[in-house]
Homo-oligomer: A and B are copies of this chain.
Amino acid sequence: MPTTQQKVAIKAGGPLPRRPGVGRGAKVRAAVLAATLAELTQVGYADLSVEGVAQRAGVHKTTVYRRWPDRQTLVAEALTDSVARDVPVPDTGSLEGDLRTFARSLVGWLTSPPGEAIFATLIAASRVPEIAPIKRALFEDRFRRHEPLVTRAIARGELPHGTDPAEVIKTVIAPIYLRLLITAEPINAATADAAAAVALAAARAGVLRPPHARPAGEDQPTGNQRRR
């Protein structure tokens, strides 16, 4: 509908269109997003219904649809909104300490109710166009923010030159996510410590170099590709 846009264009530069973050609208927005997260936690993404969210938020269904065009967008915004609280970047002085602290923080987030709900949704809705970029952004940001942790260790001489920081971080988190997603084993501080130890050993052994710097076996056939 061009009406609003044209109005904005006409009034642009004049009186403020509307300050966000105040008024009834902000309350409604917050209530709905909170209700969305709560529904995600309880029934999961697949069984989340807009009507359920609206009811829980004490708001009418059409009000939800006025702000968010569909279920995906609503969930996406709810996730984005609560992804701010992230795991901190540690600096303990030693790589081992840093990795353990990082791993434990991650486990702590993943086992907290909101973290669990957010993560499960991110995984379950990977195909949804509105959700996928959020997932990518969340994890890429996490990788990038924790790379200095490895860089410092290389500078301190704890790791060989040529070690890929991203690979180290991935090696830390991989077994944690494996247990969460595949084996459904419980994860706790011990899991975190073990993951950190593995990554440390591999890094010290010099096998965590960038992908393109590896010697052999690139792009060889994997052996059991299936027809069809």
Contacts and interface: CB of A to CB of B under 8 A. Distances in A.
A24 interface: no
A227 to B, nearest CB: 9
A192 B222 contact: yes
Nearest to A222: B108
Q: Taking chain A's interface residues, is the majority helix, strand, or loop, or is none over half, making it mixed?
A: helix
Contacts of A193: 214, 216-218
A221 B109 contact: no
A218 B198 contact: no
A76 interface: no
A17 to B, nearest CB: 16
Contacts of A136: 183-184
A202 interface: yes
Interface string A91-117: 000000000110011011101111100
Given A182-B177, A190-B218, A202-B202, A223 B101 contact: yes
Interface in A38-80: 44, 46, 55
24 contacts: A2-B4, A3-B4, A3-B55, A4-B7, A7-B7, A8-B10, A44-B127, A88-B224, A100-B217, A101-B223, A105-B223, A108-B226, A109-B224, A112-B224, A112-B228, A115-B226, A120-B127, A124-B126, A139-B183, A177-B177, A189-B220, A189-B222, A190-B219, A205-B205
